[in-house]
Structure 1
Amino acid sequence: MPGKRIPRKGGKPIERLQPIALPTLESLAPVEEKQAQQPQQPPSPLQSQAKQPPSLPPTQLQAQRPPGQQPPLVPLPQSKQLPSTQMKQTQPTISSNAPAASTKPGAPTQQKPAVQLVQKPVPPPVPQQAVTPKEVEPQKEDFVALMKVFMERLYRSISSLYPKPVVERVRMLMLQAGYSELFPELYLGFTLFSSLSTGLFLFLASQKFVSPLLLNAGIGVGGFILVQALAFMKIFVDADAKASKIELVLPDALQMMSSNIRAGMTLENAIWISARPEFGPLRDEIKHVSAQTFAGKPVTESFYDMVHRVRSDLFERAIKLVVEGIRLGGEMANLLDEVAADIKSTQMLQRELITSTMMYAIFIIFAAMIIAPALFAVSSFYSEMNEQTMEKAQKRGGQPPEEFVQKTKLGGFGMGIAKTPAISAEEVKFFSLVCIVITNFFAALNLGVIQKGKWVSGLKFAPVFVIVSVLIFIGARILLNQMLGGMFQSTTPFGGG
């Protein structure tokens, strides 16, 4: 309120403000005692609205309060005080039911009622929900899908290094093996990527064990060729296995079709009914033919498509006979029975052929897997012992190596008497291992030709032949070292003590 002006040192007068009467503790004490005596019960919403005085608008509150002065804060009773954590989250609201104070000078000052802070509770903040594993799984799935797309593009780009005839050949083999849902470009790209990685790994790892760089390169190239051969071998073996299963149940399927035709069914329905679960891969082929036939494709074309999906000469010959019978309009029931009987007789002849050639198969297995590794083990062991003997003779001195060789009669084995042999014992051992692997691989192919007339049938025996023969070679060398190694070490080169 404007009052008497008092000069200041700076020369500018300041206005004296009218003092405001503050409530005393004596006026508040009875109210606190009464509130403390009353039981603390939460008031109902209707009572709180009835007791709350009407709040004045902000314009009247500013008229009551002098400019530049904040309203005094009066503490609440203990029953209405809130925790300190909740006090920070509340907003004060000033309420009063007293009339505006007089602003005239000289007027008696009226005691204003206490200004009470009414605190409005603020609802607690909603806690953030933790990320559950279910929300993380979509992110992982997106990453896996992205990596899958990237690898597919990489394999397709790498497969372009193969010639187109190779890609088409692999596509046909995969169709015959039952991999109709797998693209040949992805398979070839994966094969080339795996073979390159294997070759590089073997090249780097062999440097710790083998010193010549040319030999390390040979090991890397050998690993590359091995992975490529295994990839193509898998397709051939799977296609041949599928064809063998189909040949085994083909006579029964043809006889079932003949019975259905005699029962009054059409050829299309007879083919569709013959798709039984016990027929295995043939069931899928029959379903495929039935679907194409009911879709409007001629039966003969559907049969020819089925021939391309099976790698079997016997199956191809039987289906061609059926197709010729359909074209010529012959009696299909009798034709199917005759074809089934012909297939059974052919299979019987194959079994007799396998039985008659069993002795040849046993001889090949015995010679390639047992005799050859044992002979290579003896030769490599002798070359190693001869090399050690020559080194001892040259170190001891006193008697020329030629006289020692004549005395001990070691020259009769065909080894030279040169001080530094042209071929070391390690090279002889490596040559023996390579010969054993190659011999057993082709022995397995030969066994497949003898048994089933197809070299592809022997591919499944090749890993067994190679592994067993190498183990026999290693075991024979260990046995010879235990039996004869001590004799060569205890004997002095010149026969002395």
Structure 2
Amino acid sequence: MGLYRRMAAVLPMRLINAFKREMHYVGMHVDENRFVGFVILFGIGIAAAASINLHLFLNVPWYYTFGLVFAGFAGGIYFWISQTAQNQGAQVERMLPDALELVASNIKAGLTTERSLFTSARPEFGALSVELKEASKRILSGERTDDSLLGIAKNIKSEILERTIWLLVQGIKSGGQIADLLLQLGSDIREEIAMRDEIKSNISMYVLLIFFAAAFGAPMLFGISSVIVGILVEQTEGINLNPEQIEQYSQMSPVGRFFGVPTVAITEDFVVFYALITLIVTCAFAAFTMGVINAGKEADGAKFVPIILGIALALFFVIRIVLKEALGGITTVL
């Protein structure tokens, strides 16, 4: 057993099967255990390098960075493969009505089912073209027509395609005409896609509101509040109080005095750390919410996480730099 397989052996089979399913959709003919083991080992190396460098140069605790970088790398690889398969399936769904109508016209012209599938496999249909040719070959080799048609949906990640093939097979088993079934299914799919696009356009305003709130609103508020806390800390340090008085009045909150529990004084570094963690969580949930609104799946919003998070973090640090430069003279005078 190789090193990669040993690394993958410690993971649950559910996770391995998830990678295997997505790799099958995108046509990655690689052993899933070796691939997952490679992702784990490579992710550990990247996380270790990032955590060591951030700890040495920015004094960031390594145990925070290691887990975040490793989870981000492994999760990013999975979501990239899944998103590739989903985009391929969406492209097939757009081409599916035209492909069904073309197959139906060929059947009405007198061609056999397998010949109709083969001649309808045009290059512009993408992955669907390959599956139509494979289904035609399976029928020619003696496989049953319904089994060959069901095999089309096994290699493409599309619920619409899977449902369409199932309905077509059921119609064939019931004695229906294949050409008429294909034409009706193509018309229904075209109406469904048009309705879905109309719904997306109607709810686009909600997506924009969530995007601006997470990418611009939250970092502005956190950036301003962190600078204000820094100014207040500088001002309180200039107050002429004894150490006992500072400890008594700054490290005891009203709730803490009631229970007799002291609290830790809030510093600018603590607020910045809290703001960064909150921004990461907020941007992630905002992206997942956008995915639910757009496509009905949380995973569809994973592609928005780097964009929203990058804008939010950049704006947060820019606001802090600008406010510190603008208010630096005021705090000096005070």
Kindly state the Cα deviation for residue 399 of structure 1 after the two structures are TM-superposed.
9.5
- Structure 1 residue aligned with 2:155: 309
State the Cα deviation string for residues 244-303 of structure 1 (Å, max 9, x = none): 111010000000000000010111111111110011121122122223222222222222
- Structure 1 residue aligned with 2:53: 205
What is the 5 A alignment of 1:319-398? 319-393=165-239, 397=240
What is the 5 A alignment of 1:63-462? 153-179=2-28, 181-209=29-57, 215-393=61-239, 397=240, 422-462=265-305
- Structure 2 residue aligned with 1:479: 322
CA separation in 1, counterparts of 2:59 and 2:291?
39
Question: Structure 1 stretches of 5 or more lacking a match?
Answer: 1-151, 404-419, 492-497
CA separation in 1, counterparts of 2:157 and 2:84?
10
Deviates most, 434-443 or 306-315: 306-315
CA separation in 1, counterparts of 2:33 and 2:306?
27
Kindly state the Cα deviation for residue 203 of structure 1 after the two structures are TM-superposed.
3.1
The amino acid that maps onto 1:275 is A
- Structure 1 residue aligned with 2:257: none
Change (3 A) 1:391 1:322: same
Q: Residues 114 and 137 of structure 2 are in contact (CA less than 8 Å); yes or no, is this contact kept in structure 1? A: no
Kindly state the Cα deviation for residue 158 of structure 1 after the two structures are TM-superposed.
2.1
State the Cα deviation string for residues 158-187 of structure 1 (Å, max 9, x = none): 2222222222222111112232x2221222
State the Cα deviation string for residues 205-249 of structure 1 (Å, max 9, x = none): 23314558xx32121122111111111111211111111111010
The amino acid that maps onto 2:15 is V
- Structure 2 residue aligned with 1:127: none
Q: Residues 373 and 472 of structure 1 are in contact (CA less than 8 Å); yes or no, is this contact kept in structure 2? A: yes
The amino acid that maps onto 1:195 is G
Kindly state the Cα deviation for residue 389 of structure 1 after the two structures are TM-superposed.
1.6
State the Cα deviation string for residues 337-384 of structure 1 (Å, max 9, x = none): 000000000001101101110111111111111111100101111111
The amino acid that maps onto 1:205 is N
Kindly state the Cα deviation for residue 434 of structure 1 after the two structures are TM-superposed.
1.4
The amino acid that maps onto 2:316 is F
CA separation in 2, counterparts of 1:309 and 1:303?
12
Find the residue that maps to 1:329 and give its secondary structure: coil
| Larger helix fraction of residues | 2
CA separation in 1, counterparts of 2:44 and 2:84?
24
Kindly state the Cα deviation for residue 400 of structure 1 after the two structures are TM-superposed.
10
Find the residue that maps to 1:208 and give its secondary structure: helix
Say which one has the larger Rg: 1
The amino acid that maps onto 1:231 is I
CA separation in 2, counterparts of 1:186 and 1:446?
33
CA separation in 1, counterparts of 2:148 and 2:333?
78
- Structure 2 residue aligned with 1:10: none
CA separation in 1, counterparts of 2:287 and 2:151?
32
CA separation in 1, counterparts of 2:302 and 2:181?
36
Find the residue that maps to 2:157 and give its secondary structure: coil
CA separation in 2, counterparts of 1:220 and 1:347?
43
Find the residue that maps to 2:2 and give its secondary structure: helix
Change (3 A) 1:456 1:398: closer
Runs (4+) of structure 1 exceeding 6 A deviation are 398-403
State the Cα deviation string for residues 86-145 of structure 1 (Å, max 9, x = none): xxxxxxxxxxxxxxxxxxxxxxxxxxxxxxxxxxxxxxxxxxxxxxxxxxxxxxxxxxxx
Change (3 A) 1:478 1:207: closer
| Number of equivalenced pairs | 320
State the Cα deviation string for residues 307-332 of structure 1 (Å, max 9, x = none): 22222221111111111122222111
Deviates most, 155-164 or 381-390: 155-164
CA separation in 1, counterparts of 2:150 and 2:316?
50
Kindly state the Cα deviation for residue 398 of structure 1 after the two structures are TM-superposed.
7.6
The normalised TM-score by structure 2 is 0.89
The amino acid that maps onto 1:154 is L
Q: Residues 240 and 456 of structure 1 are in contact (CA less than 8 Å); yes or no, is this contact kept in structure 2? A: no
Give identity over the alignment, percent: 30
The amino acid that maps onto 2:5 is R
